[in-house]
Amino acid sequence: MASSSPLSHYDDAGRARMVDIGGKSKSPRRATAQGSIAISPETLRALDSASLPKGNPFEVARIAAIQATKRTPELIPLCHPLRLTAIDVDLLVDRESRLITATVTVAAEERTGVEMEALVGCSVALLTVYDMLKAVDHTMVISSIRLLEKTGGASDFTAPPAP
């Protein structure tokens, strides 16, 4: 099913298509994505005192990120369903900058990369933190969601340091 279109997700007639990865060999793939959500001083105090109306946002966000990562092909139209072998979700609070950072790492032994799975997991972790904290703070800002690194496949990638 080769196409002469220079765009991998379109056929020669300009129609969207899922790339054929059937001829590729499976190899270890890993990707890490990261993003953050800025919170108010009041929200930070509520986190520190464990006095949040909806409870601990971090464990709910961790489960949401894992669930979303596994469902990436249902959300991103041309992603292949993958057999993921590991998903790691870290949520850290930087009290000085009042940022909660989500870092999601995904691994698989597959024919295509897991970058989108890591990015979707990170995004949903942050959205879940927002949902869990919105009773206290509607001013939160989600930002800087990006791929930090990916290994496996034709090339590896490491993002430059954030500005």
DSSP line for 35-61: EEEE--HHHHHHHHHT--TT--HHHHH
Residue 31 dihedral angles phi and psi, to the nearest 5°: -145, 145
Cβ-based neighbour number of residue 31 at 10 Å: 24
Distance between CA atoms of 11 and 139, rounded to whole angstroms? 44
Structure tokens at 155: 């090339």
Q: Which fold has domain 27-151?
A: Alpha-Beta Plaits (3.30.70)
Residues marked active site are found at 131
Where along the chain do its domains lie?
Answer: 27-151
Average pLDDT value for the chain: 92
pLDDT (tens digit, 9 = 90+) per residue, 88-124?
Answer: 999 999 999 999 999 999 999 999 999 999 999 999 9
Weakest mean pLDDT among 9-18, 95-104, 131-140: 9-18
